[in-house]
Amino acid sequence: MTDDCVVNIKNLSVWFRGRESKGLLKKYTPKPVRAVDGVSFMLRRQETLALVGESGSGKTTVGRAIMGLLREAAGEINFENQNIVSANRRERLYLRTKIQMIFQDPFDAMNPRETIAKIVSEPLTIHKKNMAAAEQRVKVSRALTDVGLSPPDDYMDRFPHELSGGQRQRVLIAGALVLNPTVIISDEPVSMLDASLKVEILNLLESLQKQHHFAQLMITHDLALTRYVADRIAIMYLGKIMEAGPTRAVLSRPKHPYTRALSQVVPTLDRVGHKKIILSGEIPHPSNIPRGCRFHPRCPDAVDICSQKVPEDRILKDRMVHCHLAEQTQEYKEQ
Ligand code: SF4
């Protein structure tokens, strides 16, 4: 791992067992669900890396694997000289003090019968069992202040239903911050909020990152959003990364046909013109991944080899592209 690398993921796979068939079909062995299928990337110190993809692309599964929540994970997730994939229970408990997750839906993530103080202090109760109640209250108070719920005493004894959607999301962020983690994984952190609150929460995450120096993996389906928040982006499709590189470069000069299709919704002023791509069909089920390039049934640029051979990851000047044609056609060359 390089000095600025916090999490180094190598060839991560998460295959779930397929559901058993019943009746006459029982003799057929179910195909595994290949939710994540050989993913490698690095999260650097204090950066925000956006993991972008449609529903079913495997991005949330990657986040859950980094949290050490999936026994099905294989490969390497290296963090502080430890492979999270093979860590035992005690080691995983420690890792959770360093890697925290912000969930998409504040309603789901909170117990409606607990006070805000109890919700935010929960990680301290679990991981810092010897911490005195007074110290715990100071830490909760500080976390609430950091996320803009100030004065904190006004919020501590309230219940989730007494707060607005934006305030509830701030409580979740405070809960993730209270242990002062090195890495925060935010899973669609603003998808449940309206447009004005989205900007507020994204600005808050950015300023907290400057203040607390954590690295952030932001999981999102919204490529347009990455333009404002991410240093780098990785585009996932059906369990694999299709393209990864600096946000500005990828958005303005997308090289993979899938990125080009997704980026058409991003209002960048400086994008160099490419032909428009209309994606046909739906993302296939991860138990039924197409042979060759997994994107070929939907790819407007597919050639014969695409349905026969899996593309290699090509490293170009400023990015990785998973495509047979990454360096070949005029359209893909560096602008
Ligand atoms: Fe399209 Fe072929 Fe590239 Fe896959 S390898 S993205 S099918 S051109």
Q: Which residues line ligand 1 (CB under 6 A)?
A: 256-257, 293, 295-296, 299, 301-302, 306, 311, 323-325
Verdict on whether the full-model pTM lies above 0.85: yes
- Residue 266 or 334, more confident: 266
The overall average pLDDT reported for the chain is 90
* CA 257 – ligand 1 centroid, Å: 7
The ligand 1 atom at the shortest distance from the C-alpha of residue 294 is 4
Q: What is the pLDDT of residues 24-61, one digit of tens each?
A: 556 666 789 999 999 999 999 999 999 999 988 999 99
Q: What is the pLDDT of residues 126-181, one digit of tens each?
A: 998 888 999 999 999 999 999 999 999 999 999 999 999 899 999 999 999 999 99
How much helix, strand and coil, in percent to the nearest 5, is found in the chain?
Answer: 35, 20, 40
Confidence at residue 179, expressed as pLDDT on a 0 to 100 scale: 95
Q: Which of 250, 304, 263, 300 lies closest to 279, judged by CA? A: 300
User: Per the structure block, which two tokens stand in for 282?
Assistant: 């739906």
Confidence at residue 129, expressed as pLDDT on a 0 to 100 scale: 81
Verify cis geometry, omega within 30 degrees of 0, for the bond prior to 30.
no
* CA 281 – ligand 1 centroid, Å: 16
